[in-house]
Structure 1
């Protein structure tokens, strides 16, 4: 009996630490990474903290122990002030007038042969065409002679005529205006296209914020030691601040219908996400199911998003997490105004 008491005290101490950490994490989206860069890194661990607190909640419930209240209270606070980790939406209304919007980080169509399968590029084209999206936003795009995306209109922005890496927006409907925000001192970027559908103009932003260069298949995620990894992540989040502000400045000049989608290289618990999602609907939150994990790693990271203005109705959201065509999973939303 005494041993059980000691075990419970130890478990409650650990529970208290992770519950406090989760509670403190709720303020992270309100603090700019430029203020305290180190804090921003902890936003990556919020899903882990939520899951651990859920496990403690279940454990204490099974024990019918009063310690249940700690994680229950902290998780309940998160329901009101934080982005949900899990969604169980059963909404799936399919209308012919829906606009089908896909976002996919294609990892340069396997240009650097990260996968031994030499047909990856063709598989990606086949997948995109089979889903018949109306708009496709591609990150880590590579301009290949074998490009075969069957949509008539497109805007492609590569780094230069010789450096064929960049971003692309493909559309079933005419593109009447397009442009690039040209991030400074970055391999990443954001582009936009104004698309005409049924006499309505919809502005689509394809966002690719500063990469954190996380390699889940290497020790320390590709860094020599944890200290250097931590510093690299913090520097990446700081660069995302200027990039996010540039997007918001450009976006605020547009008062019409809008879609902001892409690879944010950050979670829904970050400052960057909170800023970009302000006054918008998140398609996953509206219609998603499960964790919404969009990065191919054991840890549940949702870093790819489809956001719309508040007037849009989102009827469906899907993550294609059964594919291994990239280090990201494609996502698609059905929406209309």
Structure 2
């Protein structure tokens, strides 16, 4: 049978078309056509099938193998988004001189202050604060931040005096973006802590100011360069993990939970896509080298991630190895916490601290080098 009429060849063309369609779906914002998000989520499977077909044709017909090979080469950055592979190392530390910048990002889940999150003697809260205070990072970007300033009516002593413990007491300046101060005086929001002087700051709201917003700080480095770091927390799905598990565990669970989960998926998707568009417009106007820290609440095969990856280097995809899961829960292989860097930076190292299990997100730590500006 001629190659062009064979079933395998037709499957190859179909898979290539699937890959291209899924990549296109990732570029469609949810507020325009939200079902496209499901097409984007199929991209990992399409890329994997293309690699299998490449192996098949290498054994059967090397001329035909050029088709899936070309697709694999052109879409390799998309493959790296979900499964980073760097057999020869991902960093380029020796190639560029410049200022080192270490950044830790973490959704700290309000340091487990709520009764349902606490443990005996507030051990998880204390350990989380201690880890952040002692960490060598120059910059901390924290989402779901919680602080009890002096004068707060609290029975917990100074356990949650987090602005002081992560800031002044360890030589970092603090910028707290508060979304709520409760009747006891405790503060909720996001935070940036920096060992470099903070010379500018601001907040970006997505409509009403909530936990889902963005903040930025301009930092003056010892090299006299100024960089801007953005810390943001995009809209969550508002979906309970147990509901998701129930929905795919049985037909009854799918029938009971499925429609409600779909509605919440749509609402969260549309909101996140609009939020990331707001942010990318801000990034384009910034004159400084940029670093991004984010709880995206979205996976690497999504419009939100795609818009950021089009303009910035993802730290994990650049130097990591494997899936890089950051979600600490029952849903496996989920990476929703990310750091990105602009072109002036080289990414030397990226770690996910799986040994710090005190939140439902694992902290991420990256080391960047700011390349000297060309004259």
One fold, TM greater than 0.5? yes
1:175 matched residue in structure 2? 198
SS where residue 176 of structure 1 aligns? strand
Pair 1:335-2:368 in alignment = yes
Q: How has the CA–CA distance of structure 1 residues 130 and 20 changed in structure 2, closer, same or farther, with 3 Å as cutoff? A: farther
1:205 matched residue in structure 2? 230
2:178 matched residue in structure 1? 158
Q: Is the 8 A contact 1:179 1:192 kept in 2?
A: yes
SS where residue 126 of structure 1 aligns? helix
Which stretch of the first structure deviates more once superposed, 250-259 or 70-79? Answer: 70-79
SS where residue 184 of structure 1 aligns? coil
Q: Give 1:177 shift.
A: 1.3
1:272 matched residue in structure 2? 304
* CA distance in 2 between partners of 1:135 and 1:73 (Å): 41
Q: How has the CA–CA distance of structure 1 residues 225 and 298 changed in structure 2, closer, same or farther, with 3 Å as cutoff? A: closer
Q: Give 1:115 shift.
A: 5.7
Q: Which runs of 5+ in 2 are unaligned?
A: 1-6, 149-159, 371-375
Q: Give 1:167 shift.
A: 0.7
* CA distance in 1 between partners of 2:12 and 2:239 (Å): 29
Alignment of 1:197-276 (within 5 A): 197-198=221-222, 199-218=224-243, 219-220=246-247, 225-276=257-308
Q: TM-score, normalised by structure 1?
A: 0.81
Which stretch of the first structure deviates more once superposed, 91-100 or 262-271? Answer: 91-100
SS where residue 328 of structure 1 aligns? coil
SS where residue 327 of structure 1 aligns? coil
Q: Give 1:156 shift.
A: 0.6
1:107 matched residue in structure 2? 109
Q: Is the 8 A contact 1:23 1:74 kept in 2?
A: no
* CA distance in 1 between partners of 2:20 and 2:37 (Å): 15
User: Quick one: which of 15, 31, 35 aligns to 2:32?
Assistant: 35
User: Quick one: which of 146, 158, 173 aligns to 2:161?
Assistant: 146
* CA distance in 2 between partners of 1:301 and 1:200 (Å): 35
Q: CA RMSD in A?
A: 3.5
Q: Is the 8 A contact 1:40 1:234 kept in 2?
A: no
Pair 1:300-2:333 in alignment = yes
Alignment of 1:59-98 (within 5 A): 78-79=75-76, 83-89=80-86, 90-91=89-90, 93=93, 97-98=99-100
1:188 matched residue in structure 2? 212
